C-alpha cells in the first residue's frame, strides 16, 4: 500500500485508473464535483472503488463543509450552512449552538453515508483572526479557541453519529494566514506564545482519528518550511505539543503554496512525517510519479490508518434526516 489518497478524473473509474489503482493500492480516495452527478451514480462509484480493493472500510473522502465548500449540491442534495452560522448562535446561546452544530453534522453525514462516503474533511479548527484570508472566512467556527473547540467537537460527534469520520484541519492552524494557500505560501510571523491560541482547539480534539496539515509557514517554529513539509512542526508541535497521534494527511499537494513537482512534494510531505499525501487532481502522469516516489506505507502510519478504518461505522438508515434538520433550523432561528 502506498501512503497516498488519490482523486479520480470523472463519474466512473476510467480503465487506466482501474489498472493503476489496483497495482499501486492507495490508502483511499477523495471525490470532487467532477465525480458527482446524482445519488445512483455516486453510490455506484463508491461501491466500485470498494469492490476494486475488496475493502468495505475503504476511506473515501470529500470536502463537504456546508456553505461555499460543498461538492454535493442541489438539486440532488441539500444545502448546509457554513461554520459562521453556529458561531453567531454561540454569541447568544452557547448550548444551543453546540447542539445545532452536532445535529447539522449528523444530517450532513447521512447524505454522505447514503452514497458510500466514509470521511468528511471537516471540522475546521482554524481560529479566525480579523483581517485573515477570505479563504477561511465564514468557514471558521469563531475567533475564540475554546468556542472553536466546543463547536468542532460537536461536529465530530455529529458526523460519527451519521456514520462518517471527521478530519480536524488545518493543523497547526490556518487562521492567521493573510493570503490563500491555494495561490501562494502564507507566512505567519506570530510568536510562539501567540500561536498557543491557534493550537488550543487541536489540542482539545487531539483524540480525533484523522487530521490534516496546512501549507502555512510559521517563522517561530520553522522559518524555511511550511507545516506540511516540516519535520520540526509535525513532530514537536503536532505530535508532541498538540498530542495528536491520529492519521495525519497533508493538505492538497497541488496548491501553489508548495513548490516543485507534485511527486517530489508528496515524497517530502511523507518524509516530514505526514502519514498520507493527498493528491486531488487525478492527473495520471503525476499519480504514477507519486507512486514511484513514495515508499510503501510505514508500520506506524499503517497502524494509524487501521485505527481510523476501525472507527468507520456506516449507518444504513437515513430516514430521520428531516427530523434532524427541523431541530437544527429551530435552533438557528434563535439568532
Cα(208)–Cα(138) distance, integer angstroms: 23
Confidence of residue 240 (pLDDT cuts 50, 70, 90): very high
Residues annotated as catalytic are 182, 251
Could you tell me which CATH number the domain at 60-277+306-332 has?
Answer: 3.20.20.300
Can you give the pLDDT at residue 296?
98
Judge contact between 67 and 81, C-beta under 8 A.
Answer: yes
Can you give the pLDDT at residue 257?
87
Name, in order, each residue with C-beta under 8 angstroms of 110's C-beta and a sequence gap of 6 or more.
162, 163, 315, 318, 320, 321, 324
Say whether pLDDT at 10 is over 90: yes
207 sits in the region (left: phi over 0; alpha: psi -120 to 50; else beta) called alpha
Cα(220)–Cα(39) distance, integer angstroms: 47
Model pLDDT for residues 102-152, shown as the tens digit of each residue: 999 999 999 999 999 999 999 999 999 988 888 899 999 999 999 999 999
| Secondary-structure percent of the chain, ordered helix, strand, coil, rounded to 5 | 45, 15, 40
Model pLDDT for residues 37-93, shown as the tens digit of each residue: 999 999 999 999 999 999 999 999 999 999 999 999 999 999 999 999 999 999 999
Strand, coil or helix: what is 210? strand
**End-to-end Cα distance, the chain:** 49
Once rounded to an integer, what is the mean pLDDT over residues 250-259? 93
- Crossing angle for the helix pair 145-161 and 94-114, nearest 10 degrees? 40
Can you give the pLDDT at residue 291?
98
Can you give the pLDDT at residue 131?
82
| One-letter-per-residue 3-state SS of 50-116 | HHHHCCCCCCEEECEEECCEECCCCCCCCCCCCCHHHHHHHHHCHHHHHHHHHHHHHHHHHHHHHCC
Cα(155)–Cα(320) distance, integer angstroms: 18
Model pLDDT for residues 269-318, shown as the tens digit of each residue: 999 999 999 999 999 999 999 999 999 999 999 999 999 999 998 888 98
**The cell 464535483 sits on which residue?**
33
Strand, coil or helix: what is 269? helix
Q: What letter does residue 90 receive in the DSSP assignment? A: H
* CB atoms near residue 281 (< 10 Å): 16
Nearest residue to 226 via CA among 243, 214, 241 = 214
**The cell 479520480 sits on which residue?**
8
Judge contact between 10 and 32, C-beta under 8 A.
Answer: no
Can you give the pLDDT at residue 178?
83
Can you give the pLDDT at residue 183?
82
Cα(131)–Cα(149) distance, integer angstroms: 21
Judge contact between 45 and 316, C-beta under 8 A.
Answer: no
Model pLDDT for residues 200-220, shown as the tens digit of each residue: 999 999 999 999 999 999 999
Cα 72 to its chain centre, rounded Å, is 15
Cα(4)–Cα(265) distance, integer angstroms: 12
Amino acid at each position: 500500500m502506498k501512503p497516498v489518497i488519490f482523486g479520480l478524473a470523472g463519474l466512473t473509474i476510467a480503465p487506466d485508473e482501474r489498472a493503476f489503482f489496483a497495482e499501486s493500492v492507495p490508502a483511499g480516495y477523495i471525490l470532487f464535483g467532477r465525480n458527482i452527478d446524482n445519488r445512483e451514480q455516486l453510490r455506484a462509484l463508491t461501491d466500485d472503488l470498494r469492490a476494486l480493493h475488496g475493502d468495505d472500510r475503504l476511506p473515501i473522502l470529500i470536502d463537504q463543509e456546508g456553505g461555499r465548500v460543498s461538492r454535493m449540491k442541489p438539486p440532488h442534495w441539500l444545502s448546509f450552512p457554513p461554520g459562521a452560522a453556529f458561531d453567531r448562535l454561540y454569541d447568544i446561546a452557547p448550548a444551543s449552538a453546540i447542539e445545532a452544530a452536532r445535529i447539522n453534522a449528523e444530517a450532513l453525514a447521512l447524505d454522505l453515508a447514503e452514497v458510500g462516503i466514509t470521511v468528511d474533511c471537516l471540522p475546521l479548527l482554524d481560529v479566525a483572526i480579523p483581517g485573515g484570508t477570505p479563504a477561511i472566512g465564514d468557514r471558521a467556527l469563531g475567533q475564540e479557541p475554546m468556542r472553536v473547540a466546543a463547536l468542532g467537537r460537536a461536529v465530530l460527534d455529529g458526523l460519527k453519529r451519521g456514520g462518517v469520520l471527521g478530519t480536524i484541519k488545518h493543523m497547526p492552524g490556518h487562521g492567521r494566514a493573510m493570503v490563500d494557500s491555494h495561490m501562494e505560501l502564507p507566512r505567519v510571523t506570530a510568536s510562539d506564545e501567540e500561536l498557543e491560541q491557534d493550537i488550543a482547539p487541536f489540542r482539545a480534539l487531539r483524540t480525533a482519528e484523522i487530521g490534516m496539515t496546512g501549507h502555512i509557514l510559521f517563522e517561530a517554529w520553522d522559518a524555511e518550511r511550511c507545516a506540511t513539509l516540516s519535520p520540526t512542526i509535525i513532530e514537536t508541535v503536532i505530535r508532541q505539543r498538540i498530542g495528536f497521534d491520529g492519521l495525519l494527511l497533508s493538505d492538497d499537494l497541488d496548491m501553489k503554496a508548495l513548490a516543485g513537482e507534485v511527486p517530489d512534494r508528496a515524497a517530502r510531505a511523507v518524509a516530514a512525517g505526514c502519514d498520507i499525501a493527498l493528491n486531488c487532481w487525478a492527473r495520471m502522469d503525476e499519480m504514477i510519479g507519486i507512486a514511484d516516489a513514495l515508499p510503501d506505507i510505514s508500520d506506524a502510519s499503517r497502524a494509524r490508518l487501521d485505527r481510523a478504518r476501525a472507527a468507520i461505522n456506516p449507518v444504513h438508515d437515513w430516514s430521520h434526516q428531516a427530523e434532524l434538520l427541523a431541530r437544527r433550523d429551530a435552533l438557528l432561528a434563535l439568532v
